[in-house]
Structure 1
């Protein structure tokens, strides 16, 4: 699959934003992020990449992946809250 220069910039910006947000999110937690929190955020980031590509199939797949990532991240957040006694 070939990307235009603009698509490469968008993808790069998305990846950098995601990496920066992991650090900010980790700083908000007293304990390190658990596996489900990290994997959920990774899935959300991968979905954003698929959504910007001009392919209807990948866009739909990205939307589904985003929702699955949100669910997994939410599950990880609940686990973290229970662990911290909130």
Structure 2
């Protein structure tokens, strides 16, 4: 995963956490729920990027094995 993708995913999670806390402090359930959703989206994206990177690494390993 590129550093930029990882930073975007982490930023989305951090913004979501801040929105959730602000929503809880101000008794705004819509904002708190939106924050939780943002955190989940960031986590899912991060997991997807990690999975893609592992798959690309596996493909490269196979290519290297057959090119020897």
Residue 17 of structure 1 is matched in structure 2 by none
Segments of 5+ residues of structure 1 without an aligned counterpart are 1-30
**What count of residue pairs does the alignment treat as equivalent?**
55
| Offset, 1:38 | 2.8
Residue 46 of structure 2 is matched in structure 1 by 73
The counterpart of 2:29, out of the listed 50, 56, 59, is 56
Runs of 4 or more off by more than 6 Å in structure 1? none
Residue 24 of structure 1 is matched in structure 2 by none
Segments of 5+ residues of structure 2 without an aligned counterpart are 62-68
Residue 83 of structure 1 is matched in structure 2 by 56
Pairing 1:42–2:15 present: no
Between 1 and 2, higher relative CO (CA 8 Å, sep ≥ 6) is seen in: 2
Higher helix share: 2
| Offset, 1:42 | 1.4
